[in-house]
Amino acid sequence: MKRLLTFLLLIATLATAHANPGFNGRWRLDTAASSALDGWTKADLVITVDGPSVAILHDMTWRSTRLSATNTFDTKAPSELKNFFRIEQRHMAVYPAKHGITRATAAWIDENRTLRTEVFTPVEVSQGDVMMRITSEYRLSELGDTLTLIELHSSRNRPLVYVFKKVTAA
């Protein structure tokens, strides 16, 4: 058992060391190609990969309201996140539970072209606080110009799909 755990840790470390640098940068939501996200007029992700750490900044705008929130994942070990932000929370009107702690795991899969995350996050619903499980895949296209986010929620039968285009300096 100890050897198996050591082997799995070694594999995770090697996968982390080779994270695809194409994920880094600003990504803008393509609303026509994405699941509905009413309540936001502009949605960007800014992804920063630094070793095993992956920071995903949500830069969201609705009329004159601007929100910026970052979720940081560790691809080497499970982590706990305070103030976990879900891109659809305003659209769904399901908000984080006050003082809730989100448990998260992250891993590179598909030859490091996909970041897979799984979170267990407490949310407030009309019946009180409940735990929501969200499994997400951030898939980088072959050309590196499109990022597709697929989210499976334990509270929904259908996945949410968001398509982002890379924002270039030009």
* pLDDT single digits (tens) 30-64: 999 999 887 788 999 999 999 999 999 999 998 88
Distance (Å, whole) CA 60 – CA 146: 19
3-state secondary structure of 87: coil
CA–CA separation, 80 vs 31, rounded Å?
Answer: 31
* DSSP one-letter code for 11: H
**Looking at residue 163, what is its pLDDT?**
97
What pLDDT is attached to residue 44?
Answer: 96
Complete domains list, the chain, with CATH = 2-166 (2.40.128.20)
* 161 band by pLDDT with thresholds 50, 70 and 90: very high
DSSP 8-state code for residue 32: G
For the chain, the average pLDDT equals: 86
Average pLDDT over residues 69-80: 96
Task: Tell me the average pLDDT across 10-38.
Answer: 78
Q: Is the pLDDT of residue 9 over 60?
A: no
> Residue 105: beta bridge partners?
118
pTM of the model: 0.85
Show the tokens assigned to 145: 């110009």
Please count the helices (runs of H) and the strands (runs of E) in the chain: 2, 11
Query: What is the chain's alpha carbon radius of gyration, rounded to the nearest angstrom?
Result: 16
CA distances for 21 relative to 3, 52, 144, angstroms: 31, 12, 10
| pLDDT attached to residue 5 | 47
pLDDT bracket for residue 116 (50, 70, 90): very high
* Res. 15 pLDDT band, cuts 50 70 90: very low
3-state SS, 61-85, equals EECCEEEEEEEEEECCCCEEEECCC
130 touches 156 (CB < 8 A):
no
Is 90 exceeded by the pLDDT of residue 19? no
Give the tokens for residue 156. 């929904």
User: Which of the two residues, 16 and 92, has the higher pLDDT score?
Assistant: 92
